[in-house]
Amino acid sequence: MTPEFETLWQDFTDGRLDADGFAALERMLRADPALCALAAELYAEHRLIGLALRPDPEGRFAAATVERLAQAGRKFSDQVQLRLGLDRAPRRSLLPRWLPYAVAACLMVAIAAVWRWSPATVAAPVSEHLATLVRAEGCVWDGATGMTAGHRLLAGPLRLSRGQALVRFDGGASALLTGPVDFTVDSAGGATLAHGSVTIRVTEHAAGFTLHTPASEVVDLGTEFAVAVARDGATEIQVLEGEVELHARQQTSRTPRNLRAGQALRLRGADDRDGQPIPFTAERLEVSLGRVAAGPDTGRLLAHESFTYRMSRTFSNQRQADGGSGWQGAWFRNSPQTDLEILFGVDASLEAPAGLVAPAGGRLVLPSEPERPDTYRFACMRRLGTPIDPDVDGTTYVSALINRSTMPAGPTHHWFRFMLVSERVPRDRMGFGVLSDFLPQVTASQGNVSGVAPIVAGRPYLFVAKLVTGHAAPDQMFLKVYDHDQRIDTGEPENWTVIGRTYHLTSRIDAIHIYNGTECSYDVDEIRIGTSWLSVTPRQ
């Protein structure tokens, strides 16, 4: 469940969803059958809570039901006599004749369309990413190397000897760690602080967060609190905004203690049930973040293509379209049997959102079937100079400007795909695109996930994808789509447009495929592949 869904769902069950919220919830449920199945479970539980809590004097329902029959206008005994008469002679069914057929048809549909909590084709992951290291300034990690901004985190310890790190949990909370700190990621919504200082901020729409310390369990009720644990286990909790529930380890009753904004408490240790008030000294997370200047981007641009070509078309065997950097060979169509052309818009680059380096050169043109027959059949392909090894822990970012240039020329079949593929094992692939309903999508062999806001024709969008790979955890792609007049995040976005399903890529990703079909044309420009967010979203 994403924080966005949790917020919408909470508002739905409490009858507070407005028209826009309903539309957003509808789109999310339609786009993800597993989410829809989960929603049905949650809905059933919600309704059953009401039933379980309802005061229900014994026998009331049965008595009311029998009374209802009596009020039908005929005596109870007359009705029974009528039934006795019907028992002895063939009688006309009181249920519609079509009912058995309708039930059978529905059963067949239900059997044919089996919803599951998770796709059956996804191999069970060894472990699962739960959070993202969003920022790391001057960090010296104890026992870990190579962790930079964008790194996805599994459950486990994070021991920071020095520096400042911002961790964003998949449940929506952010934790600012200031070294030295011994911190453990427990789940998408929980962590343990053995010693050191953290400030936790939970957005209004997030599910909540639980922080375990030697002396207590602190449950966020919105929205920001700071905790410091000394080496001897003494724990100080200071609530900066909102409210927290404090469960002391030695607490005997089930009633937690609530601390509100401005309150601060110290627990001497695990045997301290009540704690003592202390002066309030904590600093807001944003203030602490601002004290430490952001270091230079350490990412590398691995490949770049701005389509600065003088020809409007070329063919695979001509190997003319070999510009840009970080590629192996020229553009070609992904089948040697075809002599289909590859088309460019010369000196017609797409417009980038404000703040990004202005594009130069031209664009890649993917015509529709009515405009150029058959060009949709074979992808435009180019090999990567630096392949991506899915067995290596890392993150790869891909960005591209994408423009849906026309209204569809037909009722169906207007899709677009930008795929990272293994040339040797074509089924090993992951990428992004746009569906027939113009929704952005993350695509992979094990299933697709769609966003909720459609792409509009005639406006270039910036698609930025992040591919997370690793040895111990499944691979996953995240996609952020920016409209032309949207501000581009300077670092990893807090919310992604689409989060793809997890998968295990087994082969090196060594090429990109770009293709569309069939009744809608697309343009592509400024393809960048790099190892950091900033490397693929360069600023002016």
Partner 1 sequence: MPDSAAIDALVRRVRAGDSESFGELVRAFEWPVRAWITARCPAGADADEVAQLTFVEAFKNIGRYEPGTDFAAWLFTIARYQVMGELTRLRRLADYHERYFPHALALELERRAVSEEPVEEKRLVALRSCLAELGEPARHLLDQRYTHEVPLQRIADGLGRSEGAIKKSLFLIRKKLHECLRRAPGAGAEAGA
Within 194-233, the residues that bind partner 1 by CB under 8 A are 204, 207-208, 219-223
Q: How many CB atoms lie within 10 A of CB 494?
A: 13
Q: Which is nearer to partner 1, 253 or 337 (CB)?
A: 253
Q: How far is the CB of 209 from partner 1 (least distance, A)?
A: 10
Asked if residue 74 binds partner 1 (CB under 8 A), the reply is no
Residue 356 half-sphere exposure toward CB, CA atoms < 13 A: 30
Cβ distance to partner 1 smaller for residue 63 or 294? 63
Between residue 46 and residue 65, which ones bind partner 1 under the rule CB under 8 A? 46-55, 59, 61-65
Residues in region 104-123 near partner 1 by CB under 8 A: 106-107, 109-111, 113, 115-117
Calculate ∠ Cα 204-209-211, nearest 5°.
145
Number of residues engaging partner 1 in binding (CB under 8 A): 80
Of 39-47, 278-286, 356-364, 468-476, which part binds partner 1 (CB under 8 A)? 39-47
- Token couple for 239: 């609530």
263-284 burial: b if 16+ Cβ within 10 Å, else e: bbbbbeeeebeebeeeeeebee
- Return the residues of window 155-174 that contact partner 1 according to CB under 8 A: none
Query: In terms of CB distance, is 80 or 360 closer to partner 1?
Result: 80
Q: Does 42 bind partner 1 (CB under 8 A)?
A: yes
Nearer to partner 1, 25 or 419 (CB): 25
Structure tokens at 107: 């059963």
We find the least distance from the C-beta atom of residue 28 to partner 1, in angstroms, to be: 9
In 3-state terms, what secondary structure has residue 494? coil
Residue list 233-252, contact with partner 1 (CB under 8 A): 242-243
Q: Under the criterion CB under 8 A, does residue 256 sit at the interface with partner 1?
A: yes
CB of 12 to partner 1, least distance (A): 8
For partner 1, the binding residue among 83, 300, 310, 471 (CB under 8 A) is: 83
Instruction: Report the C-alpha gap between 457 and 445 in whole angstroms.
Output: 27
Least Cβ distance, residue 124 to partner 1 (angstroms): 15
Site for partner 1 contains 296 (CB under 8 A): no
Q: Which of 145, 252, 255, 540 binds partner 1 (CB under 8 A)?
A: 255
* Short-list 151, 135, 204, CA closest to 173: 204
Nearer to partner 1, 117 or 427 (CB): 117
Q: Considering only residues 371-390, where is the footprint of partner 1 by CB under 8 A?
A: none
Q: Could you tell me which residues come within 8 angstroms of residue 65 by beta carbon, excluding any fewer than 6 positions away?
A: none
Question: Candidates 43-51, 147-155, 397-405, 499-507 — which segment interacts with partner 1 by CB under 8 A?
Answer: 43-51
- Quick one: 209 or 533, whose CB is closer to partner 1? 209
b (16+ CB within 10 A) / e for 332-368: bbbeeeeebbbbbbbeebbebbeebeebebbbbbbbb
Q: Contact with partner 1 (CB under 8 A): which of 5, 29, 324, 522?
A: 29
- Residue linked to tokens 């010369």: 346
Min dist CB 283 to partner 1, Å, is: 22
Query: Crossing angle for the helix pair 76-88 and 60-70, nearest 10 degrees?
Result: 80
Q: Does the footprint of partner 1 cover residue 98 (CB under 8 A)?
A: no
Q: How far apart are CA 463 and CA 137, in angstroms?
A: 27
| DSSP single-letter state for residue 263 | -
Q: Does position 253 bind partner 1 by CB under 8 A? A: yes
| 2, 4, 10, 215: residue in contact with partner 1 (rule CB under 8 A) | 10
- Nearest Cα residue to 538 out of 418, 365, 360, 293: 360
Q: Are 301 and 294 in contact (CB under 8 A)?
A: no
Number of neighbouring beta carbons within 10 Å of residue 490: 12
Question: How many whole angstroms separate alpha carbon 297 and alpha carbon 149?
Answer: 9
Nearer of residues 160 and 449 to partner 1, judged by Cβ: 449
Across 400-435, b (16+ Cβ under 10 Å) vs e yields bbbbbbbebeeeebbbbbbbbbbbeeeebbbbbbbb
* Closest separation in Å from C-beta 487 to partner 1: 27
CB of 436 to partner 1, least distance (A): 18
CB of 191 to partner 1, least distance (A): 16
99 touching partner 1, by CB under 8 A: yes
